[in-house]
A and B are shown apart, each in its own frame.
Chain A
Amino acid sequence: MSKHHISATINGDPAEFLCDTQQTLLDVLRDELNLTGSKEGCGSGDCGACSVMVNDRLVCSCLVLGVEAQGATINTIEGVAEGDQLHTIQKHFLSEAALQCGICTPGFIVATKALLEKNPNPTETEARYWLAGNLCRCTGYDKIIKAVMNAAAEMRGA
């Protein structure tokens, strides 16, 4: 059985992997590249726990094939912090206690970063709609939205 040999740029670094056609980008990230920050919640594009950026678009990595990543630029939760220095969004998720079990958190942070790069000053309604594809079964969302709005304010000030 022949596998596809794929080259991509992941979090700024060149990466290569082998995959079958059926393997999703999420499977590849987690099982081939040991980037386990992206989570599998539903596997059908409903929950957003596997959110990553592919060529600057926010997508569910469970709905992208690994083979489609050929030549692509991919950014995952692992690339959000700079070394030991947490991203402003991550700091606000911590200070607002915007997580409990934490499974949804990487997806929320990747999606929030995409939002604030596109719209640095979202209304709460805009933030809630943007994040409607990220499900959290613990927090009830209020703390998450507070963290997002606070991070946005700090990033605008910075």
Chain B
Amino acid sequence: MAEIQYAAPATVAAAVKALDAAKGKAKVLAGGTDLLVQLRAGRVNANTLVDIKHIPELRKVKKDKGGYRIGAAVSGAELGESDDFRATWPGVLEGFELIGSTQIQGRASLGGNLCNGSPAADSVPGMIAAGATVTIAGAKGTREAKVEDIVTGPGKTSLKPSEFVVSINLPKRAKRSGDAYLRFIPRTEMDIAVVGAAVNLTLDAKGVCTDARVALGAVAPKPLLVKAAAKALVGTKVDDAALDALAAAASAACDPIDDKRGTIEFRTKVAGVLARRAALIALERARKNA
């Protein structure tokens, strides 16, 4: 096996330079919980690993304009220790914390889970439902993109070879709003989502839903933002009829694979069921956040 170079830049600019110099042959190393497995299995080819964990801002959780900037390499264990974040974005955190074991949580990051490009990534629907953006650094400067625009297909992203995600940016939490993420797996722990559903919704003073975002994982080649499902909630009190319409819209958006862990029929049905249940949890959280 050819020798692999290791770079541990201390600044965003130096990381971009290292990625650019490798001309597409570099891989970004954050927690490594996917990358090191893929490297060993020979599924990725890289001549350089760019370890982004020595860049201070990649490891920080910062409050910013009432929202959050989460460094792309912050681990689940680190983010989970922020009580304030847990209270503000419980749905984002519950998706993140479902990834792997305690050991995996010690390393795995939101940036890595997103850029690994899995359609079943547990943290991604929650970020999409939250309306999160990512700050991306690259040879042509820094840009911002919506989380739903990053993954383009299994293992594929819209990032250029010289680009990497610096932070995940969550907006200010609106009053009377709440979020939730649920996934289905055939066991209770340590599995990959068969279906994942995240809902983030906002109510007015009378309890009418004024804004909603619904996202699904593992039911299409990439995580989905389902606008029709969100539309089913807006203008309602999130009653049974609205939840039925939400579930139907979520199921209608599915284009899943068919395998022994979940048939097309099963994943399609469960997407509706989970979207409904996640909406109810988000609703309860929104009511408590008055």
Contacts and interface: CB of A to CB of B under 8 A. Distances in A.
Interface in A31-63: 43-46, 48, 51, 54, 57-60, 62-63
B51 interface: yes
10 contacts: A22-B4, A45-B33, A45-B103, A54-B106, A59-B103, A63-B31, A64-B36, A67-B6, A115-B102, A133-B104
A111 B105 CA distance: 13
Nearest to A62: B36
A27 B214 CA distance: 44
Secondary structure call for the A interface: mixed
A59 B106 CA distance: 6
Contacts of A60: 103-104, 107
A90 interface: no
A22 B32 CA distance: 12
A18 interface: no
Interface string B173-204: 00000000000000001100000000000000
Contacts of A22: 1, 4, 39
Given A1-B3, A63-B31, A133-B102, 15 more contacts: A4-B6, A20-B3, A20-B4, A44-B37, A58-B77, A59-B106, A63-B33, A64-B36, A67-B6, A68-B53, A111-B102, A114-B102, A115-B102, A130-B102, A132-B101
Nearest to B41: A44
Given A48-B101, A111-B102, A24 B36 contact: yes
| 4 tightest Cβ-Cβ pairs between the two chains A and B | A133-B101, A57-B106, A132-B189, A21-B4
A78 B144 CA distance: 46
A114 B102 CA distance: 10
Contacts of B103: 45, 48, 51, 58-60, 63, 111, 133
